[in-house]
Chain A
Amino acid sequence: MKDLDSIIEQVKERFGDAVESSDRPFGDAVLTVRKARIRDVLSHLREEGFDFLLDIAGVDGLHLGRCERFEVVYNLYSLAGDMRLRVKVFVPEGDMNLPTVSDLWGSANWAEREAYDMFGFVFEGHPNLVRILCHREFVGHALRKDYPIMKGQWATGTSDLKPDLERE
């Protein structure tokens, strides 16, 4: 099993400019990848032994003053090599779609639905991209920095799940 640095080196020279930077804040390995090649990097890492996709975290960097506003963080873990790696993607506000990875890992299915529900990332190819936490009549995306914290929205009824059966 290769160790973490050699895998990062391998990803760097294989994908070249797609890998923007790789640093180690507080000791965690983080790889920042360009949006265009995110799916290839992730499937490559999947073959490298990162069989756990622990979490997909969306971040709205409105006040952090970064190059792009949004950011999606894939949190990977390799069971055999006991290695943790975070792959970050910067997503501009205008173009929010990303390729889905729900066919690589089963856990991505709901993680992407939550990122869509909370931030509005559109994951192309996701079998059933609908809201998961807020109710289906919710307008807007709750965890964006410009969404007022106190703006509650009433739900008039419960959602009909029959179309969900076929899509999933």
Chain B
Amino acid sequence: MAGSQEMDPKELDDSGPPRDEPPAPVELDIADEMSLDDLDVEPMYINIGPTHPATHGTFRLFCKLDGERIEKAAVEIGYLHRGFEKTAETKNYTLVIPYTDRLNYCSGLVNNVGYCKAVERMLGVTITPRTEVIRVIICEIQRIMDHMICVGANLVDIGALTNYWYFFNAREKLNDVLEALTGARLTYSYIRVGGLAWDLPKGFEENVRAALKTVPKAIKDVEGLVKKNRIFVDRARDIGVMSAPDAVSYGFTGPCLRASGVNHDLRRKKPYYHYDEFDFDVVIGERGDVYDRVFVRIEEMKQSLRIVEQALKILPGGPINVEDKNVVLPSKDRVHSSMEELINHFKLIIEGVKVPAGEIYDAIEAPNGELGFYIVSDGSGKPYRIKVRPPCFYLMNGLKKLIEGHMVADIVAILAGLNIIAGELDR
């Protein structure tokens, strides 16, 4: 073993080394025999399960830890799988609309618009200009509200609780406007195939402008608290970095893709509903970390404010529904007066909108990314198959790559930065 000389004490005291010269150092060569990695390191398995503040109750992470660092992680979802696609096959096209509300329930109207836009394109119906601008207005308001919930909840998970109150109060003001319009607070179901359920109430524009005044103030408060806050920057900068090619390969879309520096926004790439006439700029991040994702969302809120202002200015008059009798229900007074309208009314209600056979994929820029509907129809009133392209599903697919190598505390920041909505994730 290591050559340890036997020094018996007697010999030491008289013939010891002279006082001024230090004793020869004894080389201990234990170190190179036992290298660090054959120490039997026992990994710790930890389960961050469904009932956990960070996972908002609906998905589960199983991590293999080396101390605080995550070596491997397994992500399990499906805890809110409600069988939307199977149920949608037994409903007709109009009855599926309330189900689409519950996909991304932080912005229900955007799902309605996405679904109805796909069905209208299949029917070959072009909606009236007034409905297009109304849809743009409520989609942008919903985008602001969705970002508020996401950023608010994200900052709560990191620990900054006050931002949650600021954002939720501003969100309530916006929600009152949409409640006056649609009658519901969260599950609006206001859009119909071929138009809207009813026209705007009187004074809608003034209410929207008044409600939108609270948003810049809330954003200023939150930015003041968080933008240069040392704790937040340490918790968010360079955490969960997703490079641009990886983000594209994992199918990231929306704010998380733009945070990685890729300039892809459906409102610019494939403009629908006059989006090319509004001037707003697409917000691009540089490093694709949690900091960028949060601040791309906050900047997008400011852009949405600009869009709503411009849209309110050019809101045209005119009808809101398409004049096509086998798509849109006739108005009630005509139904009571003429027989032919009555028959048309019942036929539409019972058999639903007859969509020509075929398949289509149509996508919309939802707050979380590209929300697409792949609809196969067999010509009857019921959709044969609806496959939703949920942006959250592919963000969550990339989560495993994002958290490996980070610390356990970073999981919470990364997870909340992706804004995973379970209704859309598990459908």
Q: Do chains A and B touch in the complex (CB under 8 A)?
A: yes
List the interface of chain A (C-beta within 8 A of B).
25-26, 28, 30, 51-55, 57-60, 63-64, 73, 75, 79, 82, 84, 86, 105-107, 109-111, 114, 118, 131-135, 142-143, 147, 149, 158-159, 161-162, 164-166, 168
Query: Which A residue sits closest to B363, measured CB to CB?
Result: A54
- Binary interface encoding of chain B residues 255-266 relative to chain A, with 1 for a CB under 8 A from any of its CBs, else 0: 000000010100
B385 cross-chain contacts in A, Cβ below 8 A: 57, 59-60
Determine which of A135, A147, A161, A162 lies in contact with B78 in the assembled complex, contact meaning CB atoms within 8 Å.
A135
Q: Is the CB of B45 within 8 A of A162?
A: yes
Excluding A60-B385, A168-B72, 15 further A-B contacts by CB distance (< 8 Å) are A25-B358, A26-B124, A26-B358, A54-B372, A55-B372, A55-B387, A63-B378, A64-B378, A73-B374, A110-B394, A111-B394, A133-B77, A135-B78, A165-B73, A168-B400
B427 cross-chain contacts in A, Cβ below 8 A: 133
CB-defined A-B contacts under 8 Å, sample of 28: A25-B359, A25-B360, A51-B248, A52-B251, A54-B372, A55-B361, A55-B387, A57-B385, A59-B376, A75-B389, A82-B269, A82-B270, A105-B250, A106-B246, A106-B398, A107-B249, A107-B397, A110-B393, A110-B397, A132-B77, A133-B77, A133-B81, A143-B85, A165-B64, A165-B72, A168-B72, A168-B74, A168-B400
Known interface pairs A60-B385, A106-B249, A149-B86. Does A86 touch B361 (Cβ–Cβ under 8 Å)? yes
Known interface pairs A75-B372, A161-B62, A165-B72. Does A105 touch B83 (Cβ–Cβ under 8 Å)? no
Q: Is the CB of A107 within 8 A of B74?
A: no
A164 cross-chain contacts in B, Cβ below 8 A: 62, 74, 76
* Interchain residue pairs A-B with the least CB separation, the first 8: A107-B251, A161-B62, A57-B387, A106-B250, A164-B74, A133-B81, A110-B397, A133-B78
Query: Which A residue sits closest to B72, measured CB to CB?
Result: A165
A134 to B90: give the CA distance in the assembly, Å: 20
A118 to B81: give the CA distance in the assembly, Å: 11
Interface residue? B426 (CB, 8 A): yes
Query: Which B residue sits closest to A88, measured CB to CB?
Result: B359
B376 cross-chain contacts in A, Cβ below 8 A: 59
Known interface pairs A134-B78, A164-B74, A165-B72. Does A107 touch B394 (Cβ–Cβ under 8 Å)? yes
A135 to B77: give the CA distance in the assembly, Å: 10
List the interface of chain B (C-beta within 8 A of A).
45, 47, 49, 60, 62, 64, 72-74, 76-78, 81, 83, 85-87, 90, 121-122, 124, 245-246, 248-251, 253, 262, 264, 269-270, 358-361, 363, 370, 372, 374, 376, 378, 384-385, 387, 389, 393-394, 396-398, 400-401, 426-427
A131 to B77: give the CA distance in the assembly, Å: 10
Known interface pairs A26-B121, A75-B372. Does A142 touch B83 (Cβ–Cβ under 8 Å)? yes
Q: Is the CB of A79 within 8 A of B394?
A: no
Q: Is the CB of B78 within 8 A of A131?
A: yes
A84 cross-chain contacts in B, Cβ below 8 A: 361
